[in-house]
Amino acid sequence: MDKDRIQGSAKQAKGSVKEGLGKATGDSKMQAEGKTDKATGKVQNAIGGLKDSLKK
């Protein structure tokens, strides 16, 4: 498994937590940061998946 997939998954999880906390506390900045982290994590995870498929 490529390191980008691992880091991307971690970033997605972190983004979900931030987004949830932002919603719960009414902090729109934190909520936006969480959405950004989730999107960045998805892209990084996809890049890692592509790297994994090219290695085979």
Give me the pLDDT at residue 46, please. 95
Range of the domain at 46: 3-55
Number of domains in the chain: 1
One-letter identity of residue 12: Q
Q: Who's near 7: CB < 8 A, 6+ residues apart?
A: 41, 44, 48
pLDDT at 4: 92
16-56 per-position pLDDT tens digit: 999 999 999 999 999 999 999 999 999 999 999 999 898 87
56 vs 53: CA distance, rounded Å: 6
Question: What's residue 1's pLDDT?
Answer: 79
pLDDT at residue 3 is higher than 80: yes
pLDDT confidence of residue 37 = 97
